[in-house]
């Protein structure tokens, strides 16, 4: 009998991958390399596409948060979920395949990269990660950067939405009352002292403030699972198992972008049931004058 070597398999990342791990796979066989997505974006600009043109990871494809990873702004919020067919076209054009892992990065605290992670998971792709430390860590370590724009082969991913839990406004209100709803915005937006974007300030009554920036260290790397677990436990998160299809935890932010990082952080911390995402977030809630707004330090 002739011994045969097993076929090499693609790496299985998630939810966070180190720069060293990503670099190793990018240097490996072409057929096993992950798809890399550059999703740099800033709430008040400048556009992430400018940063991408100045330099990006080799082979990385740029996706625009506003145009590619969200639907048109309107009553549902500033960054509603994209239509499944639209998202599938975007992902296939970026080369996303069902049999290849995907790594997303931004140039801040991974909260924007987490939007790509969350969308792919919601769409049914379960081998997705964000790059720990993002573009800043990659560049600081002297790893290769290019201005060459790749022309990826069309992917074959099929978007099957609904694989992660999504809340509407009523669901968010109920969770804030009966479970734990985390507000991922900065403290001054939660209290209502400063609201730079949406119609009015404050927070959903009962929501607890968990600024997304507290999930990473000062250098932009994710906190350890142990530290994240302590952080969320102090906010009332239950790390016991829940019944299938149920979630006693959820998150929202300004428009559903950075709250995705709370869902990711809870998974990294060891929560077995994925937290729900209020996709419309405060941009949806605050636009409805019949929805109450709490202000100040207390959940309300």
Helix intervals (H) in the chain: 19-26, 48-54, 65-68, 84-93, 113-122, 134-140, 169-178, 187-191, 225-233, 259-268, 281-285
HSE (side-chain half, CA atoms, 13 Å) at 225:
10
Q: Among 16, 123, 207, 253, which one carries the catalytic annotation?
A: 253
| Nearest alpha-carbon partner for 287 in 70, 74, 43, 67 | 74
Tokens of 146: 């290019």
How many angstroms separate the CA atoms of 73 and 79, rounded? 6
| Nearest alpha-carbon partner for 280 in 169, 145, 157 | 169
Which helix (H) or strand (E) is 252 found in, with range? Answer: strand 249-252
253 is catalytic: yes
- CA angle 260-281-76, nearest 5°? 115
Instruction: Read off φ and ψ for residue 203, nearest 5 degrees.
Output: -145, 165
- Which of the residues are catalytic? 253
């Amino acid at each position: 009998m002739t011994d045969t070597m097993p076929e090499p398999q693609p790496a299985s990342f998630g939810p966070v991958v180190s720069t060293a791990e990503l670099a190793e796979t990018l240097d490996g066989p072409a057929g096993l390399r992950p798809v890399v997505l550059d999703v740099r974006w800033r709430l008040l600009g400048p556009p992430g596409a400018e940063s991408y043109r100045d330099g990006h990871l080799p082979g990385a494809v740029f996706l625009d948060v506003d145009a590619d990873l969200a639907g048109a702004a309107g009553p549902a919020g500033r960054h509603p979920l994209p239509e499944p067919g639209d998202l599938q076209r975007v992902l296939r054009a970026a080369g996303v395949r069902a049999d290849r892992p995907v790594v997303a990065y931004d140039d801040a605290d991974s909260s924007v990269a987490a939007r790509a992670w969350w969308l792919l998971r919601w769409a049914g792709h379960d081998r997705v990660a964000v790059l720990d430390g993002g573009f800043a860590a990659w560049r600081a370590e002297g790893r290769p950067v290019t201005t060459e724009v790749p022309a990826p082969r069309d992917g074959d991913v099929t978007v099957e939405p609904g694989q992660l839990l999504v809340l509407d406004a009523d669901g968010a209100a109920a969770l804030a009352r009966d479970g734990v709803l985390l507000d991922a915005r900065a403290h001054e937006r939660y209290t209502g002292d400063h609201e730079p974007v949406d119609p009015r300030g404050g927070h959903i009554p009962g929501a607890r403030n968990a600024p997304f920036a507290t999930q990473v260290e000062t250098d932009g790397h994710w906190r350890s699972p142990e530290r994240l677990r302590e952080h969320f436990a102090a906010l009332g998160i239950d790390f016991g198992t829940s019944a299938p299809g149920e979630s006693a935890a959820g998150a929202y932010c300004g428009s559903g972008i950075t709250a995705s990082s709370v869902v990711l952080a809870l998974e990294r911390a060891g929560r077995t049931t994925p937290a729900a995402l209020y996709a419309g977030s405060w941009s949806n809630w605050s636009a409805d004058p019949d929805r109450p707004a709490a202000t100040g330090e207390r959940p309300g």
